[in-house]
Amino acid sequence: MCFTPIVSITIAIVEFILVATLLLFFPRTKLRNFFAIFIVVLGFYQFSEYMLCSSGNGFLWAIIGIITYSFLPALGLHAVLRIFNKKLGLLWVYIVPVAVSAAAIFIPGFVIRAECEEFFIYVSTIMTLRDSLVHTIPYLIYLLYYAGFIIISCFIIYKHYAFEKNHIKRKIELVEIFGVVSMTVPAFILIVIFPTFSLRFPSVLCEFAIFVAIAAFVGAYLESKLYLPKKND
């Protein structure tokens, strides 16, 4: 959610340029790929907001946006698991966002409202209704998924940070924590929590996306130093 559609599309274009720069000029590593995928997803989400306001088919692009941001925690945890060689079946990582995506696509009337106002892009779904357990239970599961995956990802990174002796790797792990927190936490608050209480305001999600891009470049730069040839004593 950005201040205006123009801001959404501008930030999306900037992010796609940053991804191209990462892929072209930084070494091919797990961390670089993680940040590149994350930024692409963020850019596509902001593109969906722009299209919601400009395409004349707001409900379709609202569904696309919901699907896009629903995968953020799963992508973050998946990346953390791969970076630190942790084993967990992908079924358990992606079952919730896949289920939400299927519901958004196949349940008629899943999106209740999708409007582009002067300062807000407002989307509500049947999961935000609190009129029955049919709506409340899936939404609680979604909340637990979003918050839980953020916490698990940060815990895994911090655990490795606490025992890491290499000072460059410690800096990289701090960047990873910053990247995960600065994107998934604002998304959780602004897209998941606030709509539950019918709160609306021009969000700062685009600004946080820029922070993630900065973290990506810092992390990729630090990681590239690990591959520099060591000087002989």
| pLDDT higher than 80, residue 225 | no
Contact 183, 150 (CB under 8 A): no
**Angstrom distance (rounded) from CA 187 to CA 74:** 13
Q: Which residues pair with 124 in a beta bridge?
A: 113
The pTM assigned to this predicted structure is: 0.79
pLDDT in tens, 118-176: 666 777 888 877 667 777 888 888 888 988 888 888 888 888 877 778 877 787 777 77
* pLDDT (mean) for 52-67: 88
Q: Please tell me the predicted confidence (pLDDT) of residue 201.
A: 46
The mean pLDDT of the chain is 78
Shortest CA distance to 204 belongs to which of 178, 179, 177, 183?
A: 183
**Angstrom distance (rounded) from CA 146 to CA 72:** 9
User: For the residues of 159-219, what is the DSSP string, one character each?
Assistant: HHHHH---HHHHHHHHHHHHHHHHHHHHHIIIIIIHHHTT------HHHHHHHHHHHHHHH
Report the SS3 class of residue 40. Answer: helix
**Lowest mean pLDDT segment, chosen from 7-16, 87-96, 191-200, 213-222:** 191-200
| pLDDT higher than 90, residue 117 | no
Contact 119, 149 (CB under 8 A): no
Q: Please tell me the predicted confidence (pLDDT) of residue 94.
A: 95
Q: Please tell me the predicted confidence (pLDDT) of residue 16.
A: 87
